[in-house]
Structure 1
Amino acid sequence: MMVIRPSLAAGIALALLSACQNGAEQAAAPRFDGIAADEVIRFTGTEPFWGGRVEGAMLTYSTPENIDGETFTVKRFAGNHGLGLSGTLGTAAFDMTVTPGKCSDGMSDRVYPFTVTLSIDGEVREGCGWTDRQPFSGSESP
């Protein structure tokens, strides 16, 4: 016999209730369209250094230890305030969000148009992103 704690049962009920109440609101919310499906997204981060690009459904993730990077398939999701990309890097869960907002890599005079949040098997990293249509400003060679 499975026993459900009262606090867990209350949490599940609250989650189901909010899902029912917010369903219409969520369906009516506009989807992020700030990056076209045909745009190449480039991203970079520091501490540790990492970066890459997304072309269509293919993402290449690189580090100083693997300069050529590893390429894998991602699913793209346009949320209310940004773009989500999910896949598997080797055996690790890979989730990345790209949201509009000025971003600095902290090491150059560049200003990027997107903030990138990356999670690899739960390890979260912060970085910046850009596209050809929405480039960074600042020196081409920092």
Structure 2
Amino acid sequence: MLRTAFALMLLATPALATPEYILPTLFDVTGVEADDVLNIRAEPSANAEIIGTLAPDATDIEVVEEGFQGKSSWFRVNAGERSGWVSQNYLTPHYDVWKQDELPASLRCFGTEPFWNVKAESGNLTLSTPDAGDDTRPIQSILVSGYYLEPRRAVLAADMTLTATPEICSDGMSDQVYGMDAMLILHGEEPRLLSGCCTVQPRHDDTD
């Protein structure tokens, strides 16, 4: 009798859900006919203005925010110089973007006033500015929160610290929206703090 009661108690206790994804992360278009497109709309609504489209085989689409209309789920993506919404029903998440103790290969952070961008590659953190060019420093440590799929990161390099925090962020230059807030601390005799945004959207060009 006690064993039966214990079994019933286990069935009645909700399991701790493992998140399928945490934004921002990358998705692929799925379930769209080969001769069709996935519409990007100005608002999370099937009746909103169409501001762009995604090809039926589009991959590596960064989703930065989730929104709802009734019971329908929508994802926010960037389209040109704007951001818009696509139906969640047609996007499938990647599961290998945010690995423990690693940085996504496509991660880059940037800001304005002054203009700067930073990226990690080959074990280094490289800061680029229009005035000073490239400043490359070896990465000493990558810190994570320890939560599964959590995007939050802190990167410690020689006299340089980069933090990336999941939070809606604007670059101040366009109507695009990003999913991570960035802070770059430059140590030394005259410490500086630079603020901006981060993205994991892969780039398909060689420009900074």
**TM surpasses 0.5:** yes
3-state SS, counterpart of residue 71 of structure 1: strand
2:97·2:104 contact (CA, 8 Å) conserved in 1? no
> Which residue does 2:10 correspond to in 1?
none
Q: Normalized against structure 2, the TM-score is what? A: 0.42
1:129: how far off? Answer: 0.4
Distance 1:116 1:34, change over 3 A: farther
1:77 aligns with 2:143: yes
Name the stretch that deviates more: 54-63 or 121-130: 54-63
Distance 1:117 1:128, change over 3 A: same
Residue 200 of structure 2 aligns with an amino acid whose one-letter code is: T
1:102: how far off? Answer: 1.0
1:124 aligns with 2:184: no
3-state SS, counterpart of residue 142 of structure 2: strand
Map 1:102-141 to 2 at 5 A. 102-121=168-187, 122-132=191-201
2:126·2:137 contact (CA, 8 Å) conserved in 1? yes
1:66 aligns with 2:132: yes
1:56: how far off? Answer: 5.7
3-state SS, counterpart of residue 172 of structure 2: coil
Across the two proteins, how many residue pairs are aligned to each other? 98
Gap runs ≥5 in structure 1: 1-31, 136-142
Q: Normalized against structure 1, the TM-score is what? A: 0.59
> Which residue does 1:35 correspond to in 2?
98
> Which residue does 1:87 correspond to in 2?
157
Q: Identical aligned pairs, as a percentage?
A: 31
Bigger Cα Rg: 2
Greater helix percent: which structure?
Answer: 1
2:178·2:198 contact (CA, 8 Å) conserved in 1? yes
| Aligned-residue CA RMSD (Å) | 2.5
Distance 1:96 1:64, change over 3 A: same
Distance 1:56 1:114, change over 3 A: farther
